[in-house]
Amino acid sequence: MYNKVVTRFAPSPTGFMHIGGVRTALFAWLWARKNNGVFILRIEDTDKEREVKGSIEHIIKSLKWLGLNWDEGPDVGGPHKPYLQSERLDSYKKYAQILIDKGFAYPDPYTKEELDAFRKKADEERRPFLYRDHRPKEFGVWDGTKALRFKTPEIKIYHWNDAVRGALSAGVEALDDFILIKSDGYPTYNFAHIVDDQEMKVTHIIRADEFISSTPKFLSLYEALGITPPVFVTLPPILADGGNKKLSKRDGAKDILEYGEEGYLPEAVMNFLALLGWNPGTEKEIFTVKELLKVFEINRIQVSGAQVNLEKLDWMNKEHMKKLPAEEMQKNIFSYLPKEFQNEKLVPIIFERISKWSDVKVMLEAGELDCFSVVKQPKYDKIKLVYKNSSPERITKNIKLVIKALEKLSENDFTMENVKSTLMLIAEMEGNRGEVLHPVRYALSGLDKSPDPFIIASIIGKNETLSRLQKAL
């Protein structure tokens, strides 16, 4: 059907990117990449009032963090450059002239005050405001100082097809003479995106559902311009926290980059976003990017809106953490760890502990930093050495047994596995594991909550282990 799939992500630079925007970008990217197509980044900077400085850089940074790369865009150029709408004004003028020549565009003769009055009146009469009810009988000549309006060629009921929603239609109320070019010379979204998508040969417009109501206007403009519309792919809305659950201050509307700062893995966030409005129809939920590209299909995109379930993101992040290669994991966690704890010996503990937390930051916030302190001399409370109802005498005896047994292990054999089997052997002989293992763990860590004694022993080595046990005695 298509020679090549071309999708685009076209944000306006009005601030940071939140989950909603990134989800749209992800779906467009997935579809382009899956089909070996082209993914375009286009900046819709036609509203100079709302533009926020630094947004473009921020958007680029966000997309890059997730690994969404583009083939054409403001920074990399491309065959249809420029990719900033503010630099494509000539293009819009060209298309505007076509419409003027066909009699489908005219300068808006009204002042803002007059328009407001029309709108107010419509509002009072509880009917939708339609500009076309006030369309001037005769069109003046557009000199560029006034807004240029589209003259809707035909008021009719439109029926169209959406790749996700299926058959859609809208009443004639959805049709109106909207503005093509504002009095400041910049085009409106309604006009600019249609021109650009045509020029950039976009095959699929992937966007959220707030544009459904405007689609008849677009359709009318496509017709007037003689353009065959691309495929419309409407994404379901993401509902703001309307439920009774709000876990911490993490709400769905925050800057996507903050998730990175908090320790979420880009791949986990991508996985989470992909499942926000799409599902593969199987019971699989954890996907790598590669797997997503394999199974992603437009026809399985959801129609109904969904709330963001951040608890699920935590779970997903945990699952992705577990899959991380050792080296990546170390790099990841070290970036959060104070320098004094950035010790390679801690890697086994990191592996043991990491699967219990959704991300590194949460892990540290939970007071897990203590667990890393086992590389240092512990300070402890004698009383806590005693296990439950056991007697100090029995504990002393057990620690002595352990010391004796561990002394027989050579420096080289002092591995986690060997320490474990040695300790377990004693524990089985004594008949009460807790009585043996608890004091050893506590003597080695000095912590109420810590990694298990085998790991600690293997990390601190034979000498340090024995020294700590002696000290405990």
Partner RNA sequence: GGCCCUAUCGUCUAACGGUUAGGACACCGGGUUUUCAAUCCGAUAAUCAGGGUUCGAUUCCCUGUAGGGUCACCA
Does residue number 438 form part of the binding site for RNA (CB under 7 A)?
A: yes
Does residue number 44 form part of the binding site for RNA (CB under 7 A)?
A: yes
Other CB atoms within 10 A of residue 357 CB: 19
Pairing, β 166-170 against β 179-181: unpaired
Structure tokens at 286: 């954890």
Kindly state the smallest distance separating residue 153's Cβ from RNA, in Å: 19
Kindly state the smallest distance separating residue 63's Cβ from RNA, in Å: 16
Q: How far apart are CA 141 and CA 137, in angstroms?
A: 13
Q: Which stretch binds RNA (CB under 7 A): 43-51, 288-296, 324-332, 398-406?
A: 43-51
Q: How far apart are CA 418 and CA 159, in angstroms?
A: 73
Q: Which of 112, 249, 290, 388 is catalytic?
A: 249
Which is nearer to RNA, 39 or 454 (by Cβ)? 454
Mention every residue, 6+ apart, whose C-beta is less than 8 A from residue 404: none
Kindly state the smallest distance separating residue 135's Cβ from RNA, in Å: 13
Q: What are phi and psi of 180, to 5 degrees?
A: -90, -50
Nearest one of 154, 159, 117 to 134, comparing CA atoms: 117
**Cβ 32 vs Cβ 203: under 8 Å:** no
Does residue number 314 form part of the binding site for RNA (CB under 7 A)?
A: yes
Q: How far apart are CA 229 and CA 226, in angstroms?
A: 9
Pairing, β 38-41 against β 6-9: parallel
Chosen residue from 136, 144, 171, 461 binding RNA by CB under 7 A = 171
Q: Residues 120 to 159: which contact RNA by CB under 7 A?
A: 126-131, 146-147
Q: Residues 106 to 125: which contact RNA by CB under 7 A?
A: 108, 110-112, 115, 119
Kindly state the smallest distance separating residue 449's Cβ from RNA, in Å: 4
Question: Which of the 8 DSSP states describes residue 177?
Answer: -
Mention every residue, 6+ apart, whose C-beta is less than 8 A from residue 10: 41, 42, 43, 44, 193, 196
Whose structure tokens read 């439950």? 388
Does residue number 405 form part of the binding site for RNA (CB under 7 A)?
A: no
Does residue number 183 form part of the binding site for RNA (CB under 7 A)?
A: yes
Q: What are phi and psi of 245, to 5 degrees?
A: -115, 130
Does residue number 161 form part of the binding site for RNA (CB under 7 A)?
A: no
Kindly state the smallest distance separating residue 36's Cβ from RNA, in Å: 27
Does residue number 160 form part of the binding site for RNA (CB under 7 A)?
A: no
**Cβ 225 vs Cβ 295: under 8 Å:** no
Kindly state the smallest distance separating residue 3's Cβ from RNA, in Å: 27
Chosen residue from 15, 153, 305, 348 binding RNA by CB under 7 A = 305
Kindly state the smallest distance separating residue 107's Cβ from RNA, in Å: 9
Q: Which stretch binds RNA (CB under 7 A): 30-38, 40-48, 402-410, 458-466?
A: 40-48
Does residue number 449 form part of the binding site for RNA (CB under 7 A)?
A: yes
Pairing, β 105-107 against β 166-170: unpaired
**Cβ 22 vs Cβ 256: under 8 Å:** yes
Which is nearer to RNA, 231 or 447 (by Cβ)? 447
Does residue number 245 form part of the binding site for RNA (CB under 7 A)?
A: yes
Q: How far apart are CA 83 and CA 352, in angstroms?
A: 48
Nearest one of 211, 177, 182 to 197, comparing CA atoms: 211
Q: Residues 69 to 88: which contact RNA by CB under 7 A?
A: none
Which three-class secondary structure state does DSSP give residue 278? Answer: strand
Does residue number 342 form part of the binding site for RNA (CB under 7 A)?
A: no
**Cβ 441 vs Cβ 453: under 8 Å:** yes
Does residue number 251 form part of the binding site for RNA (CB under 7 A)?
A: no
Q: Residues 187 to 226: which contact RNA by CB under 7 A?
A: 188-190, 193, 209-214
SS (H, E, C) 38-53: EEEECECCCCCCCCCC
The site string for RNA over 385-404 (x = CB under 7 A, - otherwise) reads --------------------
Cα Rg of the chain, angstroms: 32
Measured CA to CA in angstroms, residue 22 lies from 33, 44, 254, 278, 357 at distances of 16, 16, 11, 14, 25
Which is nearer to RNA, 176 or 267 (by Cβ)? 176
249 a catalytic residue:
yes
Does residue number 67 form part of the binding site for RNA (CB under 7 A)?
A: no
Chosen residue from 20, 74, 230, 451 binding RNA by CB under 7 A = 451
Kindly state the smallest distance separating residue 115's Cβ from RNA, in Å: 6
Kindly state the smallest distance separating residue 180's Cβ from RNA, in Å: 9
Q: Residues 278 to 297: which contact RNA by CB under 7 A?
A: 279, 281, 283, 285
Does residue number 421 form part of the binding site for RNA (CB under 7 A)?
A: no
Does residue number 52 form part of the binding site for RNA (CB under 7 A)?
A: no
Which is nearer to RNA, 4 or 140 (by Cβ)? 140
Q: Which stretch binds RNA (CB under 7 A): 59-67, 90-98, 179-187, 398-406?
A: 179-187
Q: How far apart are CA 434 and CA 442, in angstroms?
A: 11
Chosen residue from 55, 330, 332, 450 binding RNA by CB under 7 A = 450
Would you name the residues annotated as active-site residues? 249
